[in-house]
Amino acid sequence: MTDNRIIRILTTLCDFLILNILWLVCSVPVITAGASTTALYSVMFKIIKKEEGYIIKSFLKAFRQNFKQSTIIWLLLIGTGCIVGYDWYIAVTYIKLNRQIINILVAGIIIFLLWGWIFVFPLIACFENTIKNMIKNAFLIPISQLPYAVIIILFDIVCIGGTLYNYRTLFYGSIFWSSIGGSLLVYVNSIFMSKIFEPYR
C-alpha cells in the first residue's frame, strides 16, 4: 500500500515536471503564453477528474484547439497593460500629475487585469464561448463564488510575492518555477477553479 502511494506520488511529480517543461517551452515566444497556459489548465482539470490519459498528447491537443482564442485574449491583456504602463509614465513624468493618485488608479487597473488573466484561461480550457463572453465571464463567474476566487488570488500572490521577496528567494524560486512551480500552481488553482465552475457545467 505504501509502495503504491509512493509510486503514485513520484508519477504525479514526473507528470508535473513534464507539463511544466511543455508550458515553459510553448510560452517562450511570449505571444503563445496564453494558449500554453490554457493547455496546462486543460490537462490539470483532467488530472483532477482522473481523465488525463497521455498528458503530452492532451496538452498539445488543447494548445492547438484553443490557440486562436487564447492568443487573441492574451494579446488584448498584454496590450492593455502596455497602454496603462505608458500612460502612467507620461502622467507622472511629463504632465506632473499627483503620483499617489495615479499610482492608486494604475494599481486598480492592474488588479483588474490580473483578475482577468487568472480566470480567463481556465474558462477557455473548460467552456466554449465567444471572446467577448469569455472576458466578461472571467470577471463575473468568480464573483459568484467569491471565497474560492479570493483563495486563488491570495495563493498566487503569496507564491509570486514570496519568490520576489529578495535575491535569495528569487534564486531558489527561479529553480522551483523552472522545474515544477508553474504546474503545481496551476494544479492548486484548478482544484478551486473546478468548484467555481461546477454550477455552470
Q: For 92-142, write each residue's pLDDT tens digit.
A: 777 666 677 777 887 888 888 888 889 999 999 999 999 999 999 999 999
Q: At what angle do helices 131-144 and 182-197 cross, to 10 degrees?
A: 80
- Helix, strand or coil for residue 127? coil
What's at 199, amino acid-wise? P
Asked if 158 and 129 touch (Cβ cutoff 8 Å), the reply is no
Domain total of the chain: 1
Distance between CA 159 and CA 17 in Å, rounded?
18
pTM over 0.75, yes/no:
yes
CB atoms within 10 A of CB 17: 13
Asked if 178 and 163 touch (Cβ cutoff 8 Å), the reply is no
Could you tell me which of 159, 130, 125, 115 has the C-alpha nearest to residue 49? 125
**Distance between alpha carbon 47 and the CA centroid of its chain, in Å?**
17
What's at 154, amino acid-wise? L
> 46-96: per-residue pLDDT in tens?
999 988 778 999 999 999 999 999 999 999 999 988 888 887 788 777 766
For residues 163-168, give the mean pLDDT: 91
Q: Give residues with Cβ within 8 angstroms of 27, minimum separation 6.
A: 33, 36, 37
